[in-house]
Amino acid sequence: MTRIGCSILCAMLMNLCWIAEAGSFVQPDNGTVESRFELPEGYVRVLAPEDSFGAYLRRLPLEPDGSPVLYYDGTIKPVRGVHAAVISMDTGTRDLQQCADAVMRLRGEFLFGRKRFDDIHFNFVSDGRPRHFRDHADPSCSYKSFRKYMNYIFSYANTASLLAELRPVDFKQMNIGDVFIQSGNPYGHAVIVVDMARNPRSGEFIFLLAQSFMPAQKIHILQNPNHRHLDPWYISAFTGPLVTPEWTFERTDLRRFPGD
């Protein structure tokens, strides 16, 4: 086994121990967001129409349980207590697909998979204007040209430009696919809701969050550092700000893609 292979195996074992200590709702042999994470008693998953962004996110494939988060260069993210699972999607070989970029990548992949090529566009931070995939795609709108286009977007868009594109959403009206996002100086952060469930009796809801970060790294499902008995589920009944392992948001930071 190579040195990198040994490092990944050790990281997987360490992460499995961390998850076991947290008592999370993990079914390790299951391979999607929806099937990997069980629900707390009394909760049922919210409906997501078959062709919706929410259904796409809920069915994202996951890497084997315990897999480490890898940076774009193949090295292992050393921070523990951050991720509950890793989404099986490439990061590329350049330091491009960071936080807001990961949100745009997921949105772009969803639209591309449904051949909604005209709907694939994201704004540049320099002028606030959209760049459309159709204007950069080859005649067949191939996946290769899509990935090239997304790297182009990652180079000239950020949390500020994405924040300007998204529309505010009342926290109580959260849906799968919504984004908690802040634009700061020198940088902000963004995480995306990838699954939700609701308790019909209490009215409370729970949700899973995913992110990339800096440097560019595999998109991963976040652990919940504040409610270990629910980990990795976050619950709507929290007080104060929304604290995630590497960033703190407010309820008012919730946004949604236009048209959803």
CA distances from 155 to 72, 149, 188 (A): 15, 10, 16
Q: 54 and 170 in one domain?
A: yes
Q: 125 and 10 in one domain?
A: no
Q: Judge if pTM exceeds 0.85.
A: yes
Q: 226 and 109 in one domain?
A: no
Q: 233 and 219 in one domain?
A: yes
Q: Each residue of 136-154: pLDDT tens digit?
A: 999 999 999 999 999 999 9
Query: Per the domain annotation, does 192 fall within a domain?
Result: yes
Q: Each residue of 145-190: pLDDT tens digit?
A: 999 999 999 999 999 999 999 999 999 999 999 999 999 877 899 9
Q: Each residue of 26-74: pLDDT tens digit?
A: 998 899 999 999 999 999 999 999 999 999 999 999 999 999 999 999 9
Query: Per the domain annotation, does 94 fall within a domain?
Result: no
What's the token pair of residue 3? Answer: 């040195």
Token look-up 């652990």 returns 223
Q: Each residue of 242-258: pLDDT tens digit?
A: 999 999 999 999 999 99
- Give the domain range for residue 194: 3-89+166-256
Q: Which residues pair with 132 in a beta bridge?
A: 121
Q: Each residue of 214-240: pLDDT tens digit?
A: 999 999 999 999 888 999 999 999 889
Nearest to 179 by CA among 57, 87, 30, 20: 57
